[in-house]
Amino acid sequence: MNIVGSGAIGGLCAAGAQRANLPYRAIVREHSNKLRFVEGLDGTITHLDYAEHDIAKLGEHDVLILPLKAFQIGDALQQWQKRINKATPVILFHNGMGGTELATTWLPDNPVFLATTSHGALKLNADTVKHTGMGSTMLGMAFSHPLAEKLQPVVTALMEACIGPVTWREDMQTALWQKLLINCAINPLTALENVKNGALANPQYRATIQLVCQEVCLTAQACGVQLDEENALEQVLTVVRNTAENYSSMHQDIAHRRPSEIDAINGYVVQQAQKKGIDVPVNTRLFLAIKAL
């Protein structure tokens, strides 16, 4: 198992693999610091192992996990395209949308899986990640592929050990839109207001969150995905309560002056809505406000 990058979720995956005694290699991207330590929910510290040398080629018995920012996925797929066997399974693990389209472009012959998680993780500094909240992980195929179907039990068991509990989703696009809705409501607001997730339970944010949910549901429906609009607000507020002490990933990116994933979150909704002739003023306002920072 090969885990690329030094982000918070990649750290959780590597620590999970190490605790489960699964062979893995953490691979740091060029010009990035190595993540060294992962603090678990119980306070235990896991020391991560890194590949000793550059990985020349991955074979059919390898697994490539890309727990990266949405805007890093395209470059990563392009870089790894010539370094993996066509039978090498690839798992894209990022916030927001667009992974399926990129995988179709760069790895059309590979078995590609998509994953999304509600586990909370915070990067305390350049080399340390803290697991801040228990969650679950959704896993499914990016597109139909006979080898992906065959590998489903293996990949599911692998991810269960690394960052479980895992639920296999045949309707992965629905799962991604459900996660997208939550991210659209929480991430930009926490970044703009400079607050933890729990602050969004305050009544002053309720109308904005409600409108974000309505717009995302309407756009999803136009894209052929049915979301439960009646329960959308409660889904967001449940996550707000369960992750009250967490800072969203976008809050952290903006606070540390790093590029955010706004293009793959609210920006994706705005883009799809424009294609369908739908007006999404609240998502557009949040998108533009983050872009202006």
**Residues with catalytic roles:** 179
Residues 6+ apart with CB under 8 A from 279: 273
Rounded-to-integer distance, Cα 141 and Cα 84, Å:
18
Q: What DSSP line would sit under 64-120, residue for residue?
A: EEE---HHHHHHHHHHHGGGB-TT--EEEE-SSS-HHHHHHHH-TTS-EEEEEE--E
Q: Which two tokens stand for residue 119?
A: 């586990």
- Contact between 168 and 153 (Cβ < 8 Å): no
